[in-house]
Amino acid sequence: MSVKHALLALLSMGPATTYQLRRSFDESTGQIWPLNIGQASATLSRLERDGQVAREPSEDDDGTQGSWSLTDRGKEELGRWWANAVTRPQPERHELALKLALAVVVPGVDVQALIDAQRIAAMTALHDATRARRGVAPEDLPSMLVLDHHLATLEAELSWLEGIEATLARHRSRPTSAASDTEASPTARRRTPSEAR
């Protein structure tokens, strides 16, 4: 939904061609998520179908020319977007949480090695993001905002991994009950979905 709303937001500043929209999109997201022209065209076609944008064809029109503008319905949709909180997307983080949850119950998985590899990957990304952030021009507010989000997300992941390590260490050091716990918990978890049904 975000590419769609980003395009509506850009069009609220005035009519633009597909190429101009794509360029402004890249500029306003700090070029962190480059939008390819096909994706821009496809999104605009869907918006046109939904009556949220209109196209003013140019003389030698081959479908890529012409200028897009916001319709009243598009303005309403954009207004709703600004007014409402963004719901959490499904980032890869969730895959990581799931992977770790499985790693502690599936026998033979080296959880520590998994955490180590993930930490190195996150730290590498943090190095990159930090370097990129240091290179942002002081007047480039959009890039700063986007990169700061990236940094905060990576820091959160690293601190989460550190927490998991501590939890695992505590779990391992628990006397006697630790062994029976690790056997009991997967069974208990397996039961839950069927009970829910």
| Site of interaction with another protein (CB under 8 A) | 1-3, 29, 31-34, 39, 89-91, 116-117, 119-132, 134-135, 150-151, 153-155, 158-159, 162, 165
Amino acid at 2: S
Integer CA distances (angstroms), 129 to 132, 141, 179, in order? 5, 15, 41
Q: Residue 33: which of 136, 120, 150 has the closest Cα? A: 150
In the complex, the smallest distance separating the C-beta of residue 97 from another protein, rounded to whole angstroms, is 16
Amino acid at 119: R
In the complex, the smallest distance separating the C-beta of residue 114 from another protein, rounded to whole angstroms, is 12
Nearest CB to another protein, comparing residues 75 and 119 = 119
Beta strands in the chain (DSSP E): 53-56, 67-70
In the complex, the smallest distance separating the C-beta of residue 33 from another protein, rounded to whole angstroms, is 4
Nearest CB to another protein, comparing residues 19 and 33 = 33
Nearest CB to another protein, comparing residues 98 and 117 = 117
Q: Are 56 and 62 in contact (CB under 8 A)?
A: no
In the complex, the smallest distance separating the C-beta of residue 128 from another protein, rounded to whole angstroms, is 4
